[in-house]
Structure 1
Amino acid sequence: MIAVQPAAAQSILRDAETEALLQDMMAPISVAAGLKPNQVRVHLLGDPSINAFVAGSQDVYVFSGLINEAGSANEVQGVLAHELGHIMGGHAIRHAEGAGAATNISLLSLLLGAAAMAAGGGEAAMGIMMAGQQAALGKYLAFSRVQESTADAAGAQYLSKAGITGKGSLDFFKRLQNLEFRYAVKQDDDQAYGRTHPLSGDRIQALRESYVVDPAWDKPSDPAIEKRFQRVKAKLSGYMSEPARTLRNYPESDTSIPARYARAYAWHKSAYPQKALDEAKALLAADPEDPYFLELEGQVLLESGRPAEALPPLRKAVANSRNQPLISAILGHALIATENPDNFAEAEEVLKTAVALDNQNPFAWYQLGIVYANKGDQPRAALASAERYQLMGNSSSLALRNAEIAMQGLPPHSADWIRAQDISLVARAEVERGRKRR
């Protein structure tokens, strides 16, 4: 599991097992909506908030706090179905319509206020501007609430068509309602005016009417998905939470797979590598071929300063996961970390495969740049750095600089030269936009 800092503030958590689970949970819902299984990508953000949102046209972002709060995979699928409702409704694009209408009202109120001031009515002008701002906010919030209700209804339809029970969706809304009660959030209609979402009680009532008559209402959740979810939830808890809290929630008396997973990460974070390895070996005793258990053992060894010992489990993890690119990137890192020149050719092969399968991993590009620099191939090292900086956000000037260095040394009009040119054009445009904003 690694954290990638994008242009927006939150860190995107990249983990092979978690991403595979979230995509498998989304796939049947996507198909029910008329899309291809992997057409919508689900990303995990390292943020304790209980939230999810859509961005762009086909990307769903789920906060780690939501995974931690959810009691089952079915609850998360209810959230994913709701977010897919936003995507299919074009809400990420139409968001600008609501914001635009609100902005138009605000600007109009400012113009009226200026006219009143010119006529000598200062207090009247202030009243007009404040009323205009309130009207703008009210219109925008009303627009948002309509979108949320539409996404609720669409999500219910997708779950039904996919044959997935809506019980988890209702359970999750009840969790949200309980949190609102805990924090004394009022549940009356007067409070609804100032909310971006409808009242939780109203949403539960509306969805219940749809779910209880659905043929899938009493259908049990997929046990394999649920088992994987409990693993991932524990793993995420071990990675994100303070070790002391993880060890309280998953005491050593608990020898289940999820508990061992959580403790392995907690011990590793606490700088107890042997304890972490003991948990990893216990997991492997239960399933010696599991690529994610092998990845865990290799990662603990690598990050404990034992890269040569990490190679066998990581090689096996890559093979058993069919060259999963995130795991391949860790293997490439371990090969480089041995500082054995005999391992660099393998590292180059592994890392080139990793970025070919997933070019959105700045960590893999960084490691590949090290390999190229070690070979004396400075143009391709610069290209790898350009790829890395382009993905990191707020690094357009560095992406531009490295792309231009790469172009100077690469054969003109070759595939790598064209790629460097593409990065240069995009980065230059971003740098110019930044200058104009400043």
Structure 2
Amino acid sequence: MRDQESGRVPPGRRLSTKEAAELLGVKAETVYAYVSRGQLSSYRPPGGRGSTFDAEEVEALARRNRRESGGSPATGTDMGVRTRITLIESDRYYFRGVDATELAARHSYEEIAEWLWTGQLRPGITFHAPLASVAVARRAVDSLPEHSGPTDRLRVAVAAAASTDPLRFDLSEDAVLGTARLLIPTLVAALPPQRRTHRDEGSLAQRLWRRLSPRDPDEASLRALDTALGLLVDHDLAASTLAVRVAASARAHAYAAVSAGLGVLEGPLHGAASGLAHRMLVEVLDQGDPAPVVAEELRAGRRVPGLGHRLYPGEDPRARALFAALEEMPDAEPALAAARDVMATAARHTPLHANVDMALAVLTVAGGMLPAAGETIFAVARTAGWIAHALEEYGERPLRMRPSGHYVGPRPPQPFPGQVTGDVRKSPWTKSG
């Protein structure tokens, strides 16, 4: 559709620029941007002072914008995120169309990450970090105060690793994938081990276990940890993933995009949620009775940790799959029993299923890990998903994720702060006389 500045007036009801802008929910400048991009046609009548727009055409564009942005008012930006990575539907979720729980049951975390990034399975693949990158990241992490949390350490490790990579600004797919395969094991290697060991080999799950637990793992325990990593690789547009896509939209490099995700992850409603469930299960095990523990949570006005999920009216499929793996873990039965008791007790108040945070808490309690271990597992796992979303976003129009604020403050002009109404004071830079 081209701008029509002459000729006969097109048929149909006409709107002024102001009316078109109001219908579209944008500024007048954006209306003319639509015209320049061929999304709207305009007509300026002879002797007229402004352009007019066909009402049906404007309404059609408004409907299209709402559809593509998930119902949000059009802002001249495309906030609708089309993705080929994860689908959540009918209490199940899929990676590139394949049941994610089946992938986690059959493949390692590294294999699932490759599937998420490329759509190809590479059996037996493992990720290993360059020694130089690990050395810099470890020095940076070791300089932090002892009370630093896991996300603090990971953020510092990401920044340190980025400083060793002169090619980090290359946003081509091959370069970003190369970064991902090196960054994830670097994050694991940078974390302080729970006991002295000269070995740093094996799968990513084996290396991560040594950073989380002072115990020697059996095969079932490692399998449970690897399953947890695979299940948590991605979960559509969670808050941290949206932050990653915003960073990638601004063409931040992969390290910076991952840092954006880590910044959001630390909240108690996201990556740190399993720590709350961990502490609750420890209390139940110590007291031998879930009732007073659940009662205290409710009395404090809190939700019972580890129960319910807004995307799953029924059962969280990640929890179901991880619980199945935990059933095979020899030391998990007490924590599993505590989780079942919590669910049964809470069901008298609100019948909610366990979510993946509860299952993750069972893993960390059974593994003799600290409460924050679940947050570490979540962050390491989700880094692969963040990279996948960053790659997708690099293929979109730059800076598309730039919504406009809906200003609700006082309308200008307002008196300058400290200025008495009617008091016109001279600037100190203005000469008198």
TM-score (norm 1): 0.21
Structure with the bigger percentage of helix? 1
Using structure 2 for the length normalisation, give the TM-score: 0.22
The structure having more radius of gyration, on CA atoms, is 2
